[in-house]
Amino acid sequence: MTRFAVPIAEQIWDMKYRFKDADGKPIDGTVEDSWRRIARALAAVEKDPKKWEDKFYSALEDFKYLPAGRITAGAGTARSVTLFNCFVMGTVPDSMGGIFDMLKEAALTMQQGGGIGYDFSTIRPKGALVKGVAADASGPLSFMDVWDAMCRTIMSAGSRRGAMMATMRCDHPDIEQFITAKSDPARLRMFNMSVLVTDPFMEAVKADGPWELVFDDKVYKTVQARDLWNQIMQSTYDFAEPGVIFIDRINGMNNLNYCETIAATNPCGEQPLPPYGACLLGSINLARLVENAFDKGARMDVEALDDLVATAVRMMDNVVDASRFPLEAQAQEAAAKRRIGLGVTGLADALLMVGLKYGTPEAAAQTEAWMKQIARASYLASVELAREKGAFPLFDKDKYLAAGNMMQMDDDVRAAIAEHGIRNALLTSIAPTGTISLYAGNVSSGIEPVFAYAYTRKVLQKDGSRTEEEVVDYAVKMYRDKFGADAELPDYFVNAQTLEPLAHVRMQAAAQKWIDSSISKTINCPEDIDFETFKDVYMEAYETGCKGCTTYRPNDVTGSVLSVSESSEKTPSEAPQTATDAEVIYMSEPLDRPAALEGNTYKVKWPDSEHALYITVNDVVIAGHRRPFEVFINSKNMEHFAWTVALTRMISAVFRRGGDVSFVVEELKAVFDPRGGAWMKGKYVPSILAAIGGVLEQHMVAIGFIEGEGMGLKVDPQAEAVAVGERPKGKPCPSCGEYGMKMESGCNSCPSCGYSKCG
């Protein structure tokens, strides 16, 4: 009897969270072993470990409380990894030595598995005078390129690339270049980017007033605020970046505004943090706590919710003491404030279970009520921890009760804090939960609507073949189990693609009122939304109390979002036309080599090398499309002979298996040579292997296999259509190659394998 509701949940556990030895042999025999491992590790800091181990196990059991992935994968393994998800790094000094000290800290943090956020507003603008060296500054964007290159070379814990967030104030002189930086598809691909928008700027936008761009009290340029706002909006409309962070609201609503100033967030934006701040995340699975689902008496079991929240808060507080930290400054910051980020997942499923349509005023009101219940329970639980273990070291009763979210907290909670203190300065946050939501049985992610009620994923078998399996939303499966597989879904079942953007904003604003940190959410917009209506989404987010706003509008640049028809669930919809060639070509066995192939040969002359490399790439034609099939590398330099032969054989073997093989380019381009790279055609190339990767990329672009430099697989528009109930369309996953990447909670993720750009 398995605890997993769907096969993909067990596969996610096995791939990402199951503890295995260095040879890949499982140490966790079952998911119960994983829960026991986590519970034991987090109870070890308690005076009565056995008592709390059992209590913690009960919270984890049946996926009721879901610690963030790094805790689930790392707790109790004795591995040298951090259990914190991400960090905001220290303030970047405006000096060459200080900047590269910060780069080193970032590398050490990412090496242990943490994503990082940085405010680049502290670096002087491009063209500013650098005293003492008679030179002009290169500006923050040039140093962001250095960070981007560093991130490509670091594999974070769990074999995931690190994620980064870059912020810049709306009054920095280089803000216009920051806004448009990612319009270059090859630039800053490892960054999410957001503009720090202030209240005075928003007032200037509304008044169509002037806006000064300033650094060190020097005005570099004056622009019209509305023009700058339109630049932000246009870039977001076209490229889905930058995001917008309402930084004055974040600082004004911060419980710790008496002792810290925030200027950056973690990579997904749900944790605004001070220098060296860390985010510790976990989620209550609301879908597991609804009684009598889909009946007239359906309700949230608030007593069980309160108890689960209290246990989760204790577990998360213990992580502060149990975790390692990449840097001592991060450990000190965490210990001084004991900040945690308890959130939710399965909200949309829970709303369906009680008969509410996501995005309506009624659903927003219920969301606000549930979030308040969680806020009260978490704050009261933290007060009890303070009575037992002491308040966080920087607690100041009078200042704390007069700050941020505490001003709206219920009187009984404020009185309890005044009497006993509080263990954790901030307690609530809503993070992306794409992978852990799949692990929990494909519940809806975070506070997002259900993205797709059902889709088909391909599963790679040990013999190289692929089988298909249906992945069904948790609430839909419950409804089918209760009323029959052919039962028609009620009209309150809606998904992300059918919702108006302002319905998304309404839900985010309702949840934000009782979340003391922030929320990671994507507001899905239709491709044909006009620009003025698009801008209204951001203004509405600002006016209704959101702390930030992230949108996604599918287009030729950003790619398609998931698109599935619900007709298989007997609900009215317009199904896309079936395409006869709507499959990615996956080959279970390598394709036989034709007698003749088309190809090209490229010359690479590496500086300081006596002989050039000659790289030949041959292509095979399948269904009228050219794709790479084999590679040969020749050189008179015998020093290169062994590794070039090995490299060509491995790359050719990958190419002959089919699918999206463009990841080979990124892997090669990320290789860093400690002896130093070279400048080639105006670009810094970190190694000769990276140069080879660049050649392969150049070839793939030339034959139309990938869209462009730094971009993904080129898809024939006719091949994006899908049959009713079949696999959703979207960009290919860089991990498994399946089409269907979706944007949720500000993060690109794959529903087929659980890959997440955000780590």
Do the beta carbons of residue 197 and residue 244 sit within 8 Å?
Answer: yes
Categorize the per-residue pLDDT at 583 as very low, low, confident or very high, splitting at 50, 70 and 90.
Answer: very low
Band (pLDDT 50/70/90 cuts) for residue 565 is very low
Closest residue by Cα to residue 266 from 275, 255, 257: 275
Q: Please give the average per-residue pLDDT across 37-42, as a whole number.
A: 98
Cα angle 336-339-342, degrees, rounded to a multiple of 5: 165
Active site residue 266: yes
**Can you tell me the distance from the alpha carbon of 603 to that of 224, in angstroms, rounded to the nearest whole number?**
50
* 257 a catalytic residue: no
CA-wise closest residue to 341 among 285, 278, 418: 278
How many helices (H) and strands (E) would you count in the chain?
Answer: 23, 31
Domain ranges of the chain: 86-265, 598-702
Tell me what pLDDT residue 562 has.
42
For residue 124, what is the DSSP state? P
Q: What is the pTM of this model?
A: 0.80
pLDDT above 80: residue 584: no
Collect all residues with Cβ–Cβ distance below 8 Å to 606 and sequence separation of at least 6. 612, 613, 678, 688, 691
Mean pLDDT of 67-89: 91
Q: Tell whether the model's pLDDT for residue 282 goes beyond 70.
A: yes
Residue 417 C-alpha from the chain's centroid: 34
Find tokens 């009187």 and name the residue: 411
CATH fold for domain 86-265: Anaerobic Ribonucleotide-triphosphate Reductase Large Chain (3.20.70)
What's the average model confidence in pLDDT over 553-567? 56
Highest-confidence range of 78-87, 468-477, 600-609, by mean pLDDT?
468-477
| Mean confidence (pLDDT) of the chain | 87
Going by pLDDT thresholds of 50, 70 and 90, the confidence category of residue 734 is low
- Select which of 255, 266, 424, 495 is catalytic: 266
> Quick check: 81 pLDDT over 90?
no
Q: For position 470, what pLDDT does the model report?
A: 87
Q: What's the confidence (pLDDT) of residue 723? A: 33
| pLDDT one-digit tens code per residue, 333-384 | 999 999 999 999 999 999 999 999 999 999 999 999 999 999 999 999 999 9
What integer pLDDT is reported at residue 545 of this predicted model?
Answer: 97
Q: From the candidates 53, 105, 241, 270, give the one annotated as an active-site residue.
A: 270
78 exposed, middle or buried (CB, 10 Å; 0-12, 13-18, 19+)?
exposed
Residue 99: pLDDT band by 50, 70, 90 thresholds? very high
Q: In what order do the strands lie in the sheet with 281-285?
A: 65-67, 281-285, 341-345
- Asked if residue 153 lies in contact with residue 686, where contact means CB atoms within 8 angstroms, the answer is yes
- pLDDT score, position 663: 83
Once rounded to an integer, what is the mean pLDDT over residues 404-418? 97
**462-484 per-residue burial string, b: 16 or more CB within 10 A, e: under 16:** eeeebeeeebbbbbbbbbbeeee
Asked if 270 is an active-site residue, the reply is yes
Query: Which pLDDT value is given to residue 30?
Result: 97
Among 70-74, 488-492, 571-575, the minimum mean pLDDT is found in 571-575
State the catalytic residue, choosing from 86, 151, 268, 525.
268
Q: What share of the chain is helix, strand, coil (3-state, %, to 5)?
A: 40, 20, 40
The runs of H, that is alpha helices, within 390-473 are 397-401, 411-420, 434-439
Residue appearing with tokens 């509008």 = 553
11 beta partners: none
Q: Are 431 and 341 in contact (CB under 8 A)?
A: yes
**466-472 and 523-524 as β-strands: parallel, antiparallel, unpaired?**
unpaired
Residue 550 pLDDT > 80: yes
> What is the structure's pLDDT at 421?
98
